[in-house]
Amino acid sequence: MTDTISFPLLFSPMKIGQLELKNRLVMSPVGTRLAHVGKVTDAFKEFYAARARGGVGLIVLEPCFVEPTDEPKFLSLYDDNFIPGLKELVETIHSEGAKIGVQLFHAGWQPGAKQARFLPPIPPAEISLERIKELVGKFAQAASRTKVAGFDLIEIHAAHGYLLSQFLSPLGNQRDDEYGLDITGRTRFVVEVIQSVKERIGDELPLSCRINGYEHLPGGLDLEGAKEIAPVLVDAGLDLLSVSAGALGSYPLTIPPSDTKEGCYVHLAEGIKQVVSVPVVVVGRINTPDLAEETLNLGKADLIAMARGLVADPEFTVKTTNGEVQRIRKCIACNACLDTDYDGHILCTVNPVAGRETELETTPAEQSKKVMVIGGGLSGLQAAMVASIRGHKVVLYEETANIGGQWLLASSPLHKHEFEGMVSWLSYELKTLGVEIILGQSVTSATVKTVNPDAVIVATGALPAVPSVAGFEREQVITAWEVLRGNTTIGERVMVIGGGATGLETAEFLAEQGKKVSVVEMLKAFGTDMGGTVYFHLRTRLRKLAIELFKNTEVKEINESGVVVMRNGVEENWAAFDTYVLALGVSSRNDLAKELEGKVGELYVIGDANAPGNGANAMRQGYEIGMKI
C-alpha cells in the first residue's frame, strides 16, 4: 500500500530550474569521513546509494574541498582526477532514482581539530584581495568539474562559520575594505563566487547556497541580518537557498542535540522565505513526516532537509510512502554521528549499519537455528532482531517486567526522552518479526539445558560499580541508577561522585528538582566519556542550574562528620551531604556466561556483559552477532 495521501505536499514533485525532483525531501550534507584521500570509496558510494534507494528526492552531497586540504576523509574537487569517482557515484545515485547535488567548500579559519570548533571565536587572519580572487577562481573551476561529473545541482557552502560565512558574518568579518563594512561589502565575496560559478554552469544546473539564519553568537549574524543578506545572494544568481545555523564557537547548534526542540530552525527558514523569491530549504531536527508536512503546509519552507534522520534510517521516505511510519528508526539526536568515530568514519547509535553498508548487508542464514537471547537491553534486542531477519528461530528472555535494560535509565534524564524511542522501535520490529519475548524470567544454566538451543547470546548487561571506599556502604550512599529509577528518597544537599555522562546527567536531574548538587570527579576534566557537542550543551545547562563542579577531586571516605576528599593532591574535610550518589561506571554481569562456557554449541557474550560500553557499542555488537550466527 502506498500512502502519499497523508503527506501530499511532502510527496509532491518540484522543479528547480531544469531540475525535477520527485518529492520535497532532501538529504542534507553529512560529513561521513568515508572518502579516502579526497576520493569516493565503495563504502562512501553504498552509504549514499542506500539513502537514494530509500526514496529521498535529492541528496546534497557532503562538502568537496575546492583547494588541497589536510582532511583526507572528505571529498575534493580541486583537480580533474577527482572527477571519475564522483561520476560513478552520480550514476549510482541516478540509477537508484534520486538526484544528487554537491556542496563546494572552503574551511577558512576553522581549525581541523574537533574540540577547537567549540572554542570562542578568535579574530581570523585577513586574506588579501589577490587571494580572494584566486579563491573565486577555485570555486568556479570546481563548479566546472561538478558539471563534468554529472551532478544535478551545486550548493555553495556559506554557512557554519567556514570561509564564506565568515565574510557574511558581522562578527567574523572585521575588514574595512570593499569586502567588509556593510551588507554590500560582506556579501561581495559570496556574490563573486555565485556569479563566477553561474558563468561556468549557465542555467543547466540549479545553484543553491547554504547560509546561516542565525549564528548563536553575541555580535554574530542574526535572522534580521540574514534577511538582508539573502536577497543580495539570490539576485547574484541563486535558484535555491538553504537555511541553517551555528558557527565557530556555537558549532554544537549547527547539529542540535536532543535538548533542542524538533524543527528548531523552521522560524529561520520562514523568515528568509519572506524576503526571497526562490525556494527555501529548511533543516534542523525534522524527523517525522508529520512535522515535514506541517512545515510545508504552513508555507514556512519549500523543501525539507534531513541529515541525521536519514543517517538513522535510509528508508525514511519509502517507509512513509508505504504507510509504515511507525517503522521509521528515528534519530535520537545523540550526535554520536558527529562526536564519535567508528574505525575513523561516521557511526550511528540507532543504526549500526550506517557507514558500513557494504560490510553489513543482511543475508539469510545458511541454516535456521534455535537461538536463545538472554537479556532484553539494547544489545540483546538488536541481536534478536537481526538473527530473526536472517531466518533463525529466536526467543528472548528478560528477567524484569520490561525490555530496554539500562537504556531506559539512560532515557530518563531531562532532554533524553527521545532515547526511549529506540526501545519502542526495537520492540515493534521484534513483534512484527514474530520473535517471542519472555518477560519476568531469570535464566539459569538449567534453563538453557532444558531449552537446548543451537546458539546462546548472553546479553545480561551490567550493574553499577561500587568501589570499596570507606563509607560507601552507608545508607545515605545510593547509585545513580536508583536516582534515575525515581524510587528512593534523596536529601536536599547531594554530592554526585563521578563526573562522566551518568554523573552529570544525574546531577542535572536532581538540580531540576530543586536539590543543591555538587559533582566531584577524580580526573582533570568532566564528561570525558561524552561527545563534544552534547557535553557543550550539558555544560551550559549545568552552569544555569548552579551545580558545583569539582575536578581532580577523589572521595577518600564518608563518615559521621562529613566527607574526606583529596583535591588537587591535598586532603580536605568537607561538611556532610544529605545524600551521596555514586556514578562510577558499571561492572559486567557475566556469571551466567562463565557457567555456560563449553556447555552450549555456540555461545556469544555481548554488550555490557562483555565489556561496559555505550548504547552505540551495544547496538553494534548486537547487530554483528546477529549477522554471525
Active site residue ranges: 162
Q: Which stretch binds ligand FMN (CB under 6 A): 155-163, 212-220, 458-466, 557-565?
A: 155-163
For 346, how many CA atoms within 13 A lie in the half-sphere containing its CB? 30
Shortest distance (Å) from residue 142 CB to ligand FMN:
15
Rounded distance between C-alpha atoms, residue 213 and residue 172, angstroms:
15
Q: Does 607 bind ligand FMN (CB under 6 A)?
A: no
CB closer to ligand FMN out of 333 and 409:
333
By CB under 6 A, the residues from 535 to 574 that bind ligand FMN are none
Alpha helices in 460-614 (DSSP H): 480-485, 501-511, 532-544, 591-596
Residue of 51, 106, 117, 157 interacting with ligand FMN (CB under 6 A): 157
Rounded distance between C-alpha atoms, residue 451 and residue 447, angstroms:
6
Q: Does 624 bind ligand FMN (CB under 6 A)?
A: no
Query: Would you tell me the crossing angle of helices 378-389 and 615-628 to the nearest 10 degrees?
Result: 30
Phi/psi of residue 288, nearest 5 degrees: -130, 145
Q: Does 212 bind ligand FMN (CB under 6 A)?
A: no
Q: Does 63 bind ligand FMN (CB under 6 A)?
A: yes
CB closer to ligand FMN out of 316 and 574:
316
Shortest distance (Å) from residue 78 CB to ligand FMN:
16
The single residue listed with the C-alpha cell 560499580 is 465
| Per rule CB under 6 A, count of chain residues that contact ligand FMN | 24
Q: Does 124 bind ligand FMN (CB under 6 A)?
A: no
Q: Does 309 bind ligand FMN (CB under 6 A)?
A: yes
Q: Which stretch binds ligand FMN (CB under 6 A): 192-200, 302-310, 415-423, 576-584?
A: 302-310
Rounded distance between C-alpha atoms, residue 64 and residue 79, angstroms:
11
CB closer to ligand FMN out of 114 and 516:
114
Q: Which stretch binds ligand FMN (CB under 6 A): 24-32, 165-173, 489-497, 615-623?
A: 24-32
Q: Does 59 bind ligand FMN (CB under 6 A)?
A: no
> Do 26 and 306 form a contact (C-beta atoms < 8 A)?
yes
Sorted by sequence, the CB contacts under 8 Å of residue 530 that are 6+ apart come out as 339, 500, 501, 504, 538
Nine-digit cell at 367?
Answer: 541454516
By CB under 6 A, the residues from 219 to 258 that bind ligand FMN are 244, 254-255
Residue of 98, 154, 229, 337 interacting with ligand FMN (CB under 6 A): 337
> Do 399 and 442 form a contact (C-beta atoms < 8 A)?
yes
Q: Give the helix/strand (H/E) hosting 241.
A: strand 240-245
**Residue among 25, 50, 99 at smallest CA distance from 317:** 25
What mask, x for binding ligand FMN by CB under 6 A, covers residues 26 to 55? --xxxx------------------------
CB closer to ligand FMN out of 172 and 453:
172
DSSP string covering 502-534: HHHHHHHHHHTTT-EEEEE-SSSSS-TTS-HHH
Nine-digit cell at 339?
Answer: 562526536
Shortest distance (Å) from residue 252 CB to ligand FMN:
11
Q: Does 102 bind ligand FMN (CB under 6 A)?
A: no
Distances (CA, A) of 49 to 85, 281, 311, 353: 14, 22, 12, 13
CB closer to ligand FMN out of 346 and 387:
346
Shortest distance (Å) from residue 485 CB to ligand FMN:
31
CB closer to ligand FMN out of 233 and 563:
233
Phi/psi of residue 8, nearest 5 degrees: -60, -35
Q: Does 338 bind ligand FMN (CB under 6 A)?
A: yes
Q: Does 210 bind ligand FMN (CB under 6 A)?
A: yes
Rounded distance between C-alpha atoms, residue 250 and residue 303, angstroms:
25
Rounded distance between C-alpha atoms, residue 80 and residue 90, angstroms:
16
Residue of 283, 396, 409, 542 interacting with ligand FMN (CB under 6 A): 283
Q: Does 307 bind ligand FMN (CB under 6 A)?
A: yes
CB closer to ligand FMN out of 30 and 168:
30
Q: Which stretch binds ligand FMN (CB under 6 A): 154-162, 201-209, 501-509, 560-568?
A: 154-162
DSSP string covering 38-89: TB--HHHHHHHHHHHHTT-SEEEEEEEESS--S-TTSEE-SSGGGHHHHHHH
CB closer to ligand FMN out of 266 and 346:
346
CB closer to ligand FMN out of 149 and 255:
255
Distances (CA, A) of 345 to 63, 311, 338, 615: 15, 13, 9, 17
Q: Which stretch binds ligand FMN (CB under 6 A): 22-30, 401-409, 464-472, 526-534?
A: 22-30
Residues that bind ligand FMN (CB under 6 A): 28-31, 62-63, 103, 157, 159-160, 210, 244, 254-255, 283-285, 306-309, 337-338, 346
